[in-house]
Copies of this chain bind each other. A is one copy, B any other.
Amino acid sequence: MLKIPEHQVAGHHASNGTLGPLIDDSGRFYKPLQGDERGSAEAAFYKQFSSNTQIPDHIRKFFPIFYGTQVMTASDGSEHPHIVLQDLTSSRLNPTIMDIKIGSRTFGHEASDAYIAKCLKRDRETTSLQLGFRISGLQVYINDESGFYKPPRDDVLKSGLDDVRCLFRRFVSSNPAPAAVPQELEADAALASNVYGGTEGILAQLLELKAWFEDQTMYHFCACSLLFVFEKRLALEGVSQNAQVKIIDFAHVTEGKGVIDHNFLGGLCSLIKFISEVLGDCEEHKTDQEGDS
């Protein structure tokens, strides 16, 4: 039984004339190959990467499992090749998700003038050039009645520096939606310690990735995203191993040719700094409260 995924926060969706991704009951995600060279480039990356013995296990876990490619037949009888991947949200009931495109530039150094111009415009309009990353989308689970806080994609892409700071707090807040209450009561970041902190939290995972990026010279992960996923219920219960970081979207990966991916690494370090600051603020706040009591 194939269905349309409920929990996609960025990327291509099915619309008139465009195929969107599908999921099945067994935890697989079917991503249609984009028609131009991007689709074949992404499939080629997954094939090469999944058989690359140079990738340590503690790094491979950041990548979706690749099950191969599969031609699927649409209701009109037309055939479409898909990449079959691990569905990253299949084990989650109400996943809170953020998609962050990493890198101050989203084009490779050998891209064409026209492609560079197009990407650079987008990188300047969003926070990519300034921050080294941009938030492409998010959904934050509130509760069964209210569902998800999920700001429109275009609003998210228009975020400035202060909005981004705020979104990193909302992402880990028990009250993520803009509330009709004084400013200071918004975005309590109550789940920061569980989600961002700890030895298995998002910050620890980002630092693990960073150490690899300081060394690996095989790939340049141009225009790739990091996906953060966690379950609010588990965060409230204080369960560790709740939050996951994954790298996705490999249509623009290029060969590293012996050079580190300084564009991804720089953006990753900037992201680490933002996450550290939210975490630091929360822990300081906690200490203050303990001091007061």
Q: Are B259 and A269 in contact (CB under 8 A)?
A: no
Q: Which residues 253-290 of A sit at the B interface, judged by CB distance below 8 A?
A: 257-260, 262-263, 265-267, 269-270, 272-273
Cβ of A139 under 8 Å from chain B: no
A273 neighbours in B (Cβ, 8 Å): 214-215, 217, 259-260
- The closest CB in chain B to the CB of A259 belongs to B131
A130 neighbours in B (Cβ, 8 Å): 109, 259
Q: How far is the CA of A262 from the CA of B259 in the complex (A)?
A: 17
A interface residues (Cβ-Cβ under 8 A, vs B): 104-105, 109, 116, 120, 124, 129-132, 161, 214-215, 217, 257-260, 262-263, 265-267, 269-270, 272-273
Q: Are A262 and B257 in contact (CB under 8 A)?
A: no
A120 neighbours in B (Cβ, 8 Å): 116, 120
Whether A269 touches B104, Cβ cut-off 8 Å, given contacts A130-B259, A161-B259, A262-B132, is no
Q: Are B270 and A104 in contact (CB under 8 A)?
A: no
Q: Are A263 and B109 in contact (CB under 8 A)?
A: no
**By CB atoms of chain B within 10 A, which of A105, A120, A259 has the most?**
A259
CB distance from A121 to the nearest CB of B (A): 10
Q: Are A124 and B105 in contact (CB under 8 A)?
A: no
Q: How far is the CA of A239 from the CA of B124 in the complex (A)?
A: 48
- The closest CB in chain B to the CB of A124 belongs to B109
A215 neighbours in B (Cβ, 8 Å): 273
- The closest CB in chain B to the CB of A264 belongs to B266
Which listed residue, B116, B260, B270, touches A259 by the CB 8 Å rule?
Answer: B270
14 contacting pairs across A/B (C-beta < 8 A)? A104-B105, A104-B262, A120-B120, A132-B259, A161-B257, A161-B258, A161-B259, A214-B272, A214-B273, A259-B270, A265-B265, A265-B269, A266-B266, A266-B269
